[in-house]
Amino acid sequence: MYKTYFKQAWQLMKQNRFYSAIYIAGTGLAIALVMVIAIVYHIKTADIAPEVNRSRLLLNESGTAKKKDGSRTINYSLSYQTLKECYYSLKSPELVAASVSVGQVKRLLGDIYLSIPGSKDKYTADISGTDADYWQVFSFSFLEGKPYNTEEFESGYHKAVLTEGMARKLFGSVSEISGKSFLINDIEYVVGAIVKDISPAMTITYADLWIPFTSMPVFTRTEEYENIVGPIRAYILAHKPSDFERIRKEIEEKRKQYNTQLIDYEFTLESRPPLSQKQEAIRQIDFSSSSDEIILRYSLIICVFLLVPAINLSGLMASRMQERIPEIGIRKAFGAGWTTLINQILTENLFLTLLGGLCGLVVSYGIVLVLSNTLLMSKYSEITSAVSLSPGMLMNFMVFFYAFMICVVLNLLSSLIPVWNVSRKNIVEAIHDK
């Protein structure tokens, strides 16, 4: 039966080219806009390599040192000492990784220059400092070599992991360079491994080059405020997302225990408790509002984006239904119930909506690609290179599913009232119209 509906819809579309074009353009426009939001949300929160475990990840990106009498608060991230005391010793998570972000490294090191001993050429790079478990929590694709292991990390061994692009810039090739040495601000490092380039859209893992943060004292040496805060962020991998509450509780216990050893200051997480990637993505939109407010605001925006086109399309539908009243009258006269009629028209309409959805999806890809820097870069990011997007980030089941669902919602919103009006019409009146 649906096949007949679709055939009929196709015929109708061909007969009414002008109407169909307008209808498809209207739907496409609405879907394009909402899909831009959906795609950005997807790229920021879905499990995409190397951040394949986002759904199981708790982000502890900040920490606060507070004087016990309340007279001073220092908001920063974690120190190496705090990391060891409160995070590495956690029992409930699967793994705990830690890193110093590209932005923090820039702030602490100032200008960064890479060079090869004996060569005059200097290159800038986005460097991130990490621990050894970082390579387990995140899934990088290694082209050659191995990253630093736990012993190398703990001893502060000068070993680095480079991206393909950085290796090509520095050494002119990407093969057989593990073991070669180069300089970061005149300090010698050995290449451990080469990985594929990372898109800056991957906010946690993006860098050109990774080193153990123990290899530079500026990341671990934090004498002030009883060594509580520092530049390090912890990424806690849970066995499953439902463990988050248990992990938060365990961190809380560790924190209290840790505070008993401290004298004037205490370690708190009040400025930002550990968040999941989804919560973090929402928080990044606007620091000053609560996540509920942000969700409400965006839901309202999406509603308006869909409502305006839906009213427009309803208007078009209503005009069109006027024209089809005789046809509907005859169908009714032959015994079609109103459910059958509504069903038929909705299906016909869905056909047009889906065509519009397809156009809209293509347009939204275009918008995301053109505006990728504005849409995907965090407002406060210090990364300057352009955001690159892989086809997998745009074309995948989830994105298609979002697009289809929006089509269905839009279809229902726009055709229900006009169709309902028409299907209730009296048979005699309907046929008489002509």
Partner 1 sequence: MLWSICKQILNRKKSNGWILLALLLVFCLIWFMVDFFFVLEYNKSLTSHRDLNNTYYIELGTLAKTLPEYKEAEAEPSAGIANLYRIVNRIKEYPDVESVALCQSFSSLPGVGSYNGSEYRSATDSTKRAGIQRITFIPEEDYFRAFRHTSNQGKAISLTDFDWGNPSAVLISQMVAERLFPGESAIGKTIETSYKSPDAPRDQHLVVGVLDDLKRFNYNRPQGIIFFPQRISEQNYNYIYIAIRSKEHIPASRFIPAFKKQMSSNLRVGNYYLKNVKSLVAMEKETNNAMTNMVRSLSGLMLFFLINITLCVLGTFWYRVNVRKEEVGIRRAMGSNEAGIKKLFVLEGIILLTLILIPAMIIESQFIAAGLISTLGQSNSSYGDYLPDHTIVRFLITNAITWLLLAAIVVLAIWYPARSASRIKPVEALKDE
Structure tokens, 29? 């426009």
Interface pick for partner 1 out of 22, 49, 294, 416 (rule CB under 8 A): 22
Interface pick for partner 1 out of 14, 15, 71, 110 (rule CB under 8 A): 110
Nearest to 161 by CA among 141, 173, 151, 404: 141
- Comparing CB distances to partner 1, the nearer of 231 and 309 is 309
Interface pick for partner 1 out of 17, 18, 242, 292 (rule CB under 8 A): 18
Tally of CB atoms within 10 A around 9:
20
Examine residue 319 and tell whether it contacts partner 1 (CB under 8 A): yes
- Comparing CB distances to partner 1, the nearer of 251 and 317 is 317
Strand partners, 209: 127, 162
Stretch that binds partner 1, among 7-15, 28-36, 65-73, 329-337 (CB under 8 A): 28-36
Residue 208: Cβ-neighbour burial (10 angstroms; 0-12, 13-18, 19+): buried
Contact 56, 237 (CB under 8 A): yes
* Residues 258-317, interacting with partner 1 (CB under 8 A): 304-305, 307-309, 311-312, 314-316
- Comparing CB distances to partner 1, the nearer of 137 and 306 is 306
From residue 72 to residue 91, the character string flagging contacts with partner 1 as x (rule: CB under 8 A) and all else as - is: --------------------
Residue 273: Cβ-neighbour burial (10 angstroms; 0-12, 13-18, 19+): middle
Structure tokens, 97? 């990784």
Q: How many residues bind partner 1 (CB under 8 A)?
A: 30
- Comparing CB distances to partner 1, the nearer of 316 and 336 is 316
- Comparing CB distances to partner 1, the nearer of 109 and 269 is 109
List all residues 6 or more positions away from 180 whose beta carbon is below 8 Å from its beta carbon.
171, 190, 191
How far is 129 from 107, CA to CA, in rounded Å? 13
CA end-to-end span of the chain: 28
Examine residue 56 and tell whether it contacts partner 1 (CB under 8 A): no
Nearest to 161 by CA among 137, 186, 185, 131: 131
- Comparing CB distances to partner 1, the nearer of 314 and 381 is 314
From residue 400 to residue 429, the character string flagging contacts with partner 1 as x (rule: CB under 8 A) and all else as - is: ---------------------x--------
Examine residue 30 and tell whether it contacts partner 1 (CB under 8 A): yes
From residue 366 to residue 405, the character string flagging contacts with partner 1 as x (rule: CB under 8 A) and all else as - is: --------x-------------------------------
Smallest distance from the beta carbon of 321 to partner 1, in angstroms?
10
- Dihedral angle over CA of 331, 334, 340, 345, nearest 10: -10
b/e burial code for range 108-133 (CB count within 10 A of at least 16 → b): ebeebebbbeeeeeeeebbbbbbbbb
Smallest distance from the beta carbon of 367 to partner 1, in angstroms?
9
- Comparing CB distances to partner 1, the nearer of 301 and 395 is 301
How far is 320 from 325, CA to CA, in rounded Å? 9
- Comparing CB distances to partner 1, the nearer of 186 and 292 is 186
Contact 99, 86 (CB under 8 A): no
* Residues 157-216, interacting with partner 1 (CB under 8 A): 185-186
Q: Which residue has the tokens 């309803």?
A: 314
Strand partners, 99: 130, 233
Examine residue 115 and tell whether it contacts partner 1 (CB under 8 A): no
Interface pick for partner 1 out of 23, 134, 189, 351 (rule CB under 8 A): 23
Residue numbers of the site for partner 1 (CB under 8 A)? 18-19, 22-23, 25-26, 29-30, 33, 110-111, 185-186, 304-305, 307-309, 311-312, 314-316, 318-320, 322-323, 374, 421
